[in-house]
């Protein structure tokens, strides 16, 4: 890459943003298409993100992708916006700023690729989170479903998101179990489970066996949310990585068509440069402490102990084959035990009646 004073500068802004794969994907696409541009990630901590975004034109930026928590500020900063939230900003030739939201388009791209028959399977949708991504995805899915529920830890945000969608409904956070049990598609759009963020004990054991489960967090690629779905072997779970603000986002920024396969190849090239570390040892030797240290530095990790515990917990996937195998034996054992108790009771009665 030959960077000059004429090179266009693009970036993703947000807080947190160090986990983002966007620089890897976008710079790969830029190189593949021979564009004179460079893409980076910039952490933005500000109480007035709208003003900061407007000022970035003077610094030479051509376009931006926007992640949490600045998507609403991005829409306000623009001269024109197609939605009240935006994840893509582009400065036009006349100096004005256009805002787009590609979250919904990108999610439907990914959903169609991972579950091609989803339109025939989905009539009730649960979206966890009511931020920019959740609202964008909800609007895109609204026309394809009967009801769409938003659940958010802050009730007012769920109510605002639901009111912006024609068939939107509110599900209180304390009613998540009911929502998991009723939904055909569950979409996790919060930062819960992201590296460095809080996690949550999801009621995945209640979801339908035919449910589709998606998490838009992609670092780690397998979040606690998806791990819970797979451990239960009940849901079709996947993560929306290598998708917008990847594919649709880069279309808006550089005005070039891209393909999902290009993004996947770019990520694969980056993956070949990754270092994989495995931690083994007996109890008390420090595996968990070292794993926590890596996690605090932003390294994705997989806890096999937790996965095994989940598999063999009550209702876990590891128990079901054994239950099926021994169910008949258990019924037989209970029948034999019942007959033995009856015989023993009869013997005791005869013995008592024969005493003088």
Catalytic residue, candidates 8, 45, 57, 71: 71
Decide if 33 contacts 256 (C-beta within 8 A): yes
b (16+ CB within 10 A) / e for 119-128: eeebebbbbb
In degrees and rounded to multiples of 5, residue 282 shows phi and psi of -80, 175
In whole angstroms, give the CA distance from residue 196 to residue 294: 11
Is 71 tagged catalytic? yes
- Distance in angstroms (rounded) separating the CA atoms of residues 144 and 122: 8
Mention every residue, 6+ apart, whose C-beta is less than 8 A from residue 58: none
Local structure of 221: helix, strand or coil: coil
User: 303 CB contacts (<8 Å, ≥6 apart)?
Assistant: 291
Contact 10, 255 (CB under 8 A): no
**Pairing mode, strands 124-128 and 185-188:** parallel
Q: Which of the residues are catalytic? A: 71
């Amino acid at each position: 890459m030959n960077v000059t004073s004429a090179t266009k500068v693009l970036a993703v802004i947000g807080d947190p943003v160090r986990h983002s794969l966007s620089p890897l994907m976008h710079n790969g696409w830029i190189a593949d298409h021979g564009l004179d541009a460079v893409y980076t990630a910039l952490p933005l901590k500000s109480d007035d993100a709208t003003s900061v975004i407007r000022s970035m034109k003077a610094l030479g930026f051509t376009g931006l992708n926007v992640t949490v928590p600045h998507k609403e500020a991005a829409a306000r900063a623009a001269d024109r916006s197609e939605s009240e939230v935006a994840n893509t900003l582009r400065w036009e030739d006349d100096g004005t700023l256009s805002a787009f939201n590609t979250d919904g388009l990108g999610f439907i791209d990914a959903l169609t690729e991972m579950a091609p028959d989803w339109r025939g399977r989905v009539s009730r949708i649960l979206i966890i989170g009511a931020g920019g991504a959740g609202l964008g995805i909800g609007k895109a899915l609204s026309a394809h479903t009967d009801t769409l529920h938003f659940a958010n830890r802050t009730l007012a945000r769920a109510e605002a998101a639901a009111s912006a969608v024609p068939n939107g409904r509110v599900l209180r956070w304390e009613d998540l179990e009911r929502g998991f049990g009723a939904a055909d598609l569950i979409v996790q759009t919060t930062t819960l489970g992201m590296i460095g963020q809080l996690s949550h004990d999801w009621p995945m054991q209640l979801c339908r066996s035919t449910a589709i489960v998606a998490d838009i967090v992609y670092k780690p690629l397998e979040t606690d949310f998806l791990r819970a779905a797979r451990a239960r072997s009940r849901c079709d779970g996947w993560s929306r990585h290598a998708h917008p603000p990847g594919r649709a986002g880069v279309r808006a920024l550089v005005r070039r068509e891209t393909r999902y396969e290009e993004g996947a190849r770019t990520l694969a090239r980056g993956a070949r440069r990754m270092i994989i570390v495995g931690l083994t040892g007996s109890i008390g030797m420090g595996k968990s402490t070292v794993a926590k240290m890596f996690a605090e530095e932003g390294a994705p990790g997989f806890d096999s102990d937790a996965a095994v515990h989940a598999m063999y917990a009550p209702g876990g996937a590891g128990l079901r084959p054994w239950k099926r195998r021994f169910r008949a034996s258990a019924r037989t054992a209970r029948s034999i035990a019942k007959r033995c108790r009856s015989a023993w009771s009869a013997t005791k009665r005869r013995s008592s009646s024969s005493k003088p």
